[in-house]
Amino acid sequence: MKRLPALACAVFFTGCSFIGPVARPDLALPSQWSETAPGDSAAAPPSPDWWHGFGSPQLDAMIADAFVGSPDLRAQAERVIQAELTLRATNSSLFPGLNLSGNSGWSRSVSGDTSAVEERKSSSLGLSASYELDLWGRVSASIASDKAKLAASRHDYDSARLSLAASVAATYFQYLAGFERLSIARENLAIAERVFKVVEARHRHGAASSLDLSRQKTTVLSQRAQIEPLEVQVRQTRSALDILRGHPPGVDPLSQQPAAPIATLAIPAIGPGLPSELLLRRPDIASAEAQLAAAAANIGAARAELFPSISLSAGGDLTSGFLLSLASPSSSVSLTGKLVQTIFDAGRLNALVDSARSRERELLETYRKTILTSLKEVEDALSNTARDTSQEEAQVQILAEAERSLHLAELRYREGADDLLSVLEAQRTRFSVQDQLAQLRLARLTDAVNLYKALGGGWKAEDEAAVTTAIAPQGQ
C-alpha cells in the first residue's frame, strides 16, 4: 500500500498508451517463383544503380539528369519535407507553451451631469505558460502516427525515384527502337528504289510488263509512306524524354545526341531471389506497412480522447498606471489546473474511434493487395523475359534466311529466271522480319526494366525487423 502513491505519480506523469500492435495480413508466400528467366539462377539481385547494367552512358546521364530536374520527384521531395514539419509541430506538444503579452492604453471620459473629466492610463506586461499532461498517451500516439507517416512519405519518395528511373529507361529504349525502325524503313525504301530502277530498265527493253513496273512503284510509295509516321514517333518519344527530365521539348542537348544502335545495348541477367525477400526490397510495400502503423497509432489517439484531459497553466502580470511605462507596477501571479471530461457528445468520440479502426482495416487490405500485386508483377516480368528471349533468338535466324531469300530473288529476277512477285514477297518479308526484330529487342529491354522495377530496383528496408515475420513462405 505504501508503494501506491509512487505508482500513481509515475502513471500520472508518464501517461498511458492505447497504441495496440500493428495488424498483419494473414498471407503465406510461395517458396519459389513459378516463372524463371533464362540464366537468372546465378545472376545477382538488382543494385541501386541498376541502369548501369545496360551499358549506355547516355542512359546513365539521362537518369542522373532526371533525378535533379524531374517535377514529379521534386514534388514528392516536398511531401517528405511537409511530413517532417508536421512531425516537428506535433513534437512541440510535449513542451509547455509560453506566451508574452503587453499592452498600454489611454482613455478619457466626460460625465454628462457634472462635466467631470476622467482620464485613465495603464500599461501591463504578462507572461503565461500552459501545459497539457499527456496522461493517456494522446500526444504520444499522435507523434507515433506522424513518425509512421514520415516513414511512408520517404518510402513513397523512393518509389517515385524508382518509377522515374524506369520510365526514363523505358522511354529511352522506345526512342532507340523507333530510330532503329526508322533506319530499317529507310534502308528498305532504298532497296525498293533500287529494284524499281531494275524493273524500269527491263520495262524499257520490253523484258518487264507495265504491271511489274506498277507493282514495284506501289512498293516504293508504300515504303516511303511508312517513314513519316516513324519520324513523328521518334520526335514525340524524344520530347517525352525531355519532359520526364524537366526540360522543354527540343532544347536539351543531351536528347539531341545521336542515338546508339539498340543492338549495342546489353541486356543484364537479373536474379529475382526468393519471394519472401521481396518484402524487404520494395519501397511501396514498406510504405503500405508504415501507413498501417500510422493507422494503429491513430486508434490510440482516438481512444485517448475518451478520457479526461488535464492541463496546467501559470501566469504573471506587471501593471502600472502610466502610459508606455511600468513605473511603480503592481504584480500578480496565478497558477491553475484544469480537468475536462466530455459527458455527452452524442457518440461523436466513439464514432471517431470506430472510424480509425475501420481505416486500419482498410489499410490492412491495401497492404495485402500491395504484396499480392508485387508478386504478380515479378512473375509477369519473369515470364515476359523468358518468352521474348526465345522469340528474339528465333527472329535472328528468320532474318538471316529472309536476307538470303531477297538476295536470291533479286539475282533470279535480273537473270529472268523468276518474276517480280518473288522479289516483292522477299522484300516484304525482310522488312517485316527486321521490324519485328527491332520490336523484340525493345521488348527484351523493357522486360529487364520491368523486372528491375518489380524487384524494387536494389532498394532495401533500413530496418528489416519492421517487416512482418508472420508472412512466411509456404512449407516453412
Greatest mean pLDDT among 83-87, 97-101, 263-267, 408-412: 83-87
Distance CA 441, CA 267 (A): 9
Q: Is the pLDDT of residue 94 over 70?
A: yes
Provide the pLDDT for residue 466.
40
Provide the pLDDT for residue 434.
86
Radius of gyration over every alpha carbon of the chain, rounded to an integer in angstroms:
37
C-alpha distances (whole Å) from 294 to each of 144, 253, 353, 400 are 7, 45, 14, 60
364 vs 460, more confident: 364
Provide the pLDDT for residue 250.
74
Distance CA 297, CA 309 (A): 18
What average pLDDT score do residues 41-67 get?
89
What average pLDDT score do residues 364-381 get?
93
What is the 3 state secondary structure string of the chain? CCCHHHHHHHHHHHCCCCCCCCCCCCCCECCCCCCCCCCCCCCCCCCCCHHHHHCCHHHHHHHHHHHHHCHHHHHHHHHHHHHHHHHHHHHHHHCCEEEEEEEEEEEEEECCCCCCEEEEEEEEEEEEEEEEECCCCHHHHHHHHHHHHHHHHHHHHHHHHHHHHHHHHHHHHHHHHHHHHHHHHHHHHHHHHHHHHHHHHHHHCCCCCHHHHHHHHHHHHHHHHCHHHHHHHHHHHHHHHHHHCCCCCCCCCCCCCCCCCHHHCCCCCCCCCCHHHHHHCCHHHHHHHHHHHHHHHHHHHHHHCCCCEEEEEEEEEEEECECCECCCCEEEEEEEEEEECCCCCCCHHHHHHHHHHHHHHHHHHHHHHHHHHHHHHHHHHHHHHHHHHHHHHHHHHHHHHHHHHHHHHHHHHHCCCCCHHHHHHHHHHHHHHHHHHHHHHHHHHHHHHHHHHHCCCCCCCCCHHHCCCCCCECCC
Domain map (residue ranges) of the chain: 12-99+137-307+347-466
Distance CA 365, CA 368 (A): 5
Provide the pLDDT for residue 135.
83
- For residue 377, give the nearest of 266, 278, 469 by alpha carbon: 278
Q: Is the pLDDT of residue 170 over 70?
A: yes
Q: Residue 37 — very low, low, confident or very high, per pLDDT cuts 50/70/90?
A: low
423 vs 228, more confident: 228
Q: Residue 31 — very low, low, confident or very high, per pLDDT cuts 50/70/90?
A: confident
What average pLDDT score do residues 288-306 get?
91
Q: Is the pLDDT of residue 424 over 90?
A: no
20 vs 92, more confident: 92
**Average per-residue pLDDT for the chain:** 84
Give the rounded percent of residues in the chain with a pLDDT score beyond 90: 39
Provide the pLDDT for residue 413.
77
pTM comes to 0.83
Give the rounded percent of residues in the chain with a pLDDT score beyond 70: 89
C-alpha distances (whole Å) from 457 to each of 51, 155, 284, 380, 418 are 9, 13, 12, 16, 56
Give residue for cell 517515385.
160
467 vs 185, more confident: 185
Q: Residue 113 — very low, low, confident or very high, per pLDDT cuts 50/70/90?
A: low
Provide the pLDDT for residue 108.
81
What average pLDDT score do residues 408-432 get?
81
Q: Residue 475 — very low, low, confident or very high, per pLDDT cuts 50/70/90?
A: very low
Provide the pLDDT for residue 172.
94
What average pLDDT score do residues 184-203 get?
85
- Would you state the cell numbers that stand for residue 33, as one nine-digit string? 517463383
Q: Is the pLDDT of residue 473 over 60?
A: no
C-alpha distances (whole Å) from 476 to each of 79, 274, 276, 294, 364 are 40, 13, 11, 30, 23
Distance CA 204, CA 218 (A): 18
Q: Residue 17 — very low, low, confident or very high, per pLDDT cuts 50/70/90?
A: low
What average pLDDT score do residues 196-220 get?
84
CATH number, domain 12-99+137-307+347-466, options 3.90.1150.10, 3.90.940.20, 1.20.1600.10, 1.10.10.60: 1.20.1600.10
What average pLDDT score do residues 447-463 get?
87
- For residue 160, give the nearest of 81, 75, 241 by alpha carbon: 75
Q: Is the pLDDT of residue 173 over 90?
A: yes
Provide the pLDDT for residue 422.
81
Cβ proximity of 90 and 142 under 8 Å: yes
Provide the pLDDT for residue 462.
67
> Within 10 A of 67 (CB to CB), how many other CB atoms are there?
15
- Would you state the cell numbers that stand for residue 237, as one nine-digit string? 518519344
Cβ proximity of 178 and 236 under 8 Å: no
> Within 10 A of 382 (CB to CB), how many other CB atoms are there?
24
Q: Which positions ≥6 away from 266 have C-beta within 8 Å?
A: 53, 54, 55
